[in-house]
Amino acid sequence: MTDPHFITSLQHPFVKHLVKLRQESRYRYEQKSLILEGSKPIQEVLPFVKKLIYTSAYAPYLEFHAPEEWHITESIMKKVSGNSTPEGVIAEVQMPPFASLKQSRSILALDGISDPGNLGTLMRTALALGWDGIYLLPTSCDPYNEKVLRSARGAHFKIPLRRGNINELRQLAQQGNFQTLVADIKGEAPEKMRLGSRKILVLGNEAHGPSPDLFEFCSPITIPMPGEMESLNVAVAGGILLYLLKK
């Protein structure tokens, strides 16, 4: 570890770089980097950390280091973190590469999940329940959006991700002999289905449901709800199905 660089100006090029990483999807992919905030999330992905950025107030509590470190003011931390009450430490982290998912056995596919909080929660839940792949269809939000990162709590670095379209998902399912399921209100209950050893579960858009093309190769599955509710939030419904399908 070298001595930290000191920044006091909001107009410093490195400050602008960090803000762009947080705000601009295209820039993140160009730089193959993203921003993580908070001690615990950073410690969970230390091998991926490229630069550590912290304030004077946080420096005495720093329990880990990075190849490059930057010491910044409180006002700069608020700007680069986008948080009015930041913890005091952020990191520029190497973006993990996308995977093929050919070796995965239980894949969660997300179609049009536009709410970052829902996307991050679903990734975190899939990891917790032992699923080993996430397939992101084009209409879902950027998985490296700051709100997704915050709610996923490091899942991006522990579960393989792939991006692709519906035709590519169909090919993956056929080539890998996956049973493909899509969550739908008119589907069959999990306990009434004969489930295979390799499976793909597709969850659709929060408001409009799954894309019609998915029903050409996916069997509809649903959660029986005897109570007086027509539907559940996609992250809640997804969590229930992820659990039931791994039992």
In tens, the pLDDT along 143-182 reads 999 999 989 988 999 999 999 999 999 999 999 999 999 9
Would you state the structure tokens that stand for residue 60, as one six-digit string? Answer: 């005495």
User: What DSSP character marks residue 213?
Assistant: G
pLDDT tens figures, 190-207? 999 999 899 999 999 988
Q: Which domain holds residue 15?
A: 5-94
pLDDT, position 2: 65
| Distance separating alpha carbons of residues 245 and 131, to the nearest angstrom | 10
Least confidently predicted of 75-79, 94-98, 228-232, 236-240:
228-232
Chain centroid to CA 19: 20
Which residues on adjacent β-strands are paired with residue 7?
72
pTM, 2 dp: 0.92
165 and 86 in a single domain? The answer is no
Examine residue 203 and state whether it is found in any structural domain, yes or no. Answer: yes
Instruction: Find residue 199's DSSP bridge partners.
Output: 106, 179
Is residue 98 a contact partner of residue 214, using CB atoms and an 8 Å limit? Answer: no
Residues 56 and 156 occupy one common structural domain:
no
Q: Is residue 99 part of a domain?
A: no
Residue 232: pLDDT band with limits 50, 70, 90? confident
Phi (first) and psi of residue 154, to 5 degrees: 90, 5
- Three-state SS for 147? helix
- Whether residues 162 and 75 share a domain: the answer is no
For 227, which DSSP code?
S
Residue with tokens 């489930």: 195
- Please enumerate in sequence order all residues whose Cβ is within 8 A of that of 6, keeping only pairs 6 or more positions apart, or say none: 70, 71, 72
CATH number at residue 73: 3.30.1330.30
Q: What is the dihedral of CA 97, 98, 103, 108, to 10 degrees?
A: 130
- Joined tokens for residue 126: 């899939």
Pairing of strands 219-221, 133-136: unpaired
| CATH number of the structural domain spanning residue 168 | 3.40.1280.10
**What integer pLDDT is reported at residue 1 of this predicted model?**
58
